[in-house]
Structure 1
Amino acid sequence: MIEIYLFIHPLCPDSLSSEKRLLQMIQNAPKKVQFKILPLLNLHTFQQFLMKQNTKFLNLYERNQLFDAAYSAALDYKAIQLQGKKKGRLFLLNLQDKVCNEQIPYSKQLVVDIIESINGDLDMFESDRQSDVIKQSFETDQAIAKEMSVSKTDSAVFFNYTKNQDYGVLVEDGLTTELLNELLQINDEEPSELTIYKQEQATVKHADLAHCALKLLKN
């Protein structure tokens, strides 16, 4: 089995593209794959988002509005996930599509409309959304990102349990179809063409694969 953690900004077009690309690849993967999408939102990743969207010159009020919308969207996603991972993923993809592609501003009404459109339980969502458990779940995602040394959104960590490996492969840039195909069909040999950082031995091997920075992390 292969397990994938994808760290995303909940309202970023690049994250939406990464999610769709991975979902498409997983459908054709030769091994069973568990796919987890985790929101990663802090001041550092938010600044990255502003740079990507060419909105770095917004005033403080506008920045706060964007951050609050992203944070609320992340909590919405965590809340709807309590109704099932598939339901949560469907909600997230719909929300991102509305905001990123249709240019509909994030709002509570938009969230309600999407939940109703995917046949979610709105009463359950509203109750869960107010729970401290949701905020704790979000904080857990941030802790997981820190533990895996993830500092950028659209980063993915791959674990291949079929080979009894005690490390994961972290892709920080360039989730290309070619690279994903390689990672989803990892053979029994250690990936010699990847940039490898072994935490246990603190050694570094240098290589260059499609200009992507990859790390092997202790599980």
Structure 2
Amino acid sequence: MLEVYHFVTPLSADSIISEKKVITYIKQTSQLVSYRMIPVVTMQSVRDTYQELKMHKSLNVDYAIVAQNLSQLALDTKAVQSQGKKAARLFYDKMQELLLANVPYSKSLVLSTLSKLHLDTNLFLEDYNTSATISALKADQNMAATMDITNYPTMIVCDSNKDKYAFKTSDFSTNGLSLIFNPVQQSNNDSSAPHLINYEEGSN
């Protein structure tokens, strides 16, 4: 089985494209896959997203609002996750769509979006901004730091057939994803194969 940890930046075009491509490959692969999409918000990711969004003349872009939107979306998605990973992804995808259409972030927008997606608004309100949700979000951010994730999007893929090893890749091309989800026999000298990390010895 593959365990996939997909680290993304909310509202980043590259991350959004990678999310759609990875889900497509997971649906097509014959392998069993456990998938986690993990939104990460850092000072660098906020700056990069702000610069990217500034290029869209149709968007009203303010640095403080971008930072707030990214942080709030990551937190709210974590709160929705108690309703399942699929529910969290549906919410996250819809909120991305709305925010990129210049809809202001608000609690009423979140609740109306949850309702339209037939998700439990009361459960969200129970989980929203609790210490448990905040701790879970911090754990995700710490995981990214521990795994030395500095570029987004990046995936860590743990293969149950290779107990100590994981693939770390930022290659979301057709060839790159095929090597992971539709593996073929690779020679040890194949430079196109994903980078192996031995977590017992520490990441390279």
Letter in 2 for 1:94: K
Instruction: For residue 48 of structure 1, report the CA deviation from its aligned partner.
Output: 2.4
Show the counterpart of 2:202.
none
1:148 aligns with 2:147: yes
Could you tell me which residue of structure 1 aligns to residue 121 of structure 2?
A: 122
Distance in 2 of aligned mates of 1:53 and 1:171: 25
Q: Deviations over 1:42-99 (max 9, x none)?
A: 11222222333346xxxxx931221011101100000000111111111111111222
- For residue 195 of structure 2, what is the aligned residue in structure 1? 215
Match of 1:169 among 150, 167, 170: 167
Say whether 1:182 aligns with 2:198: no
Contact 2:4 2:35 in 1 (8 A): yes
Q: Matches of 2:155 and 2:54 in 1, distance apart?
A: 24
TM-fit CA distance, 1:191: 5.7
State the partner residue of 1:86: 86
Length-normalised TM-score, structure 1? 0.80
CA change 1:80–1:190 in 2 (3 A) is farther
Residue type matched to 2:118 in 1?
N
Q: Distance in 2 between matches of 1:44 and 1:52?
A: 12
Q: CA RMSD in A?
A: 2.2
| Structure 1 unaligned regions, length at least 5 | 56-60, 195-208
Matched AA of 1:185:
N
Question: 1:195-216 CA deviation, whole Å, 9 max, x = no partner?
Answer: xxxxxxxxxxxxxx4xx9x532
The separation in 2 between residues aligned to 1:30 and 1:41, in whole angstroms, is 33
Q: 1:112 to 1:190 in 2, by over 3 A?
A: farther
> In 2 relative to 1, CA 12–2 (structure 1 residues): closer, same or farther, beyond 3 Å?
same
| CA distance in 2 between partners of 1:191 and 1:74 (Å) | 39
Q: What amino acid is the match of 2:183?
A: I
Residue type matched to 1:93 in 2?
D
Inter-CA distance 122–186: structure 2 relative to 1 (3 Å threshold): same
CA deviations 1:7-66 (Å, max 9, x no partner) are: 1122323222111111011011121011101111111222222333346xxxxx931221
Find the aligned partners of 2:141 and 2:189 in 1 and give their Cα distance: 30
So what's the TM-score if we normalise by structure 2? 0.85
Shift of 1:188: 6.2
Q: Residue in 1 aligned with 2:33?
A: 33
CA distance 1:130–1:165, change in 2 (3 Å): closer
Helix, strand or coil: the match of 1:157? strand
Structure 1 residues 191 and 128: alpha-carbon distance in aligned structure 2, compared to 1, 3 A threshold: farther
CA contact (8 A) 1:170 1:216 kept: yes
Identity %: 23
The answer (yes or no) to whether the contact 1:13–1:96 under 8 Å persists in 2 is no
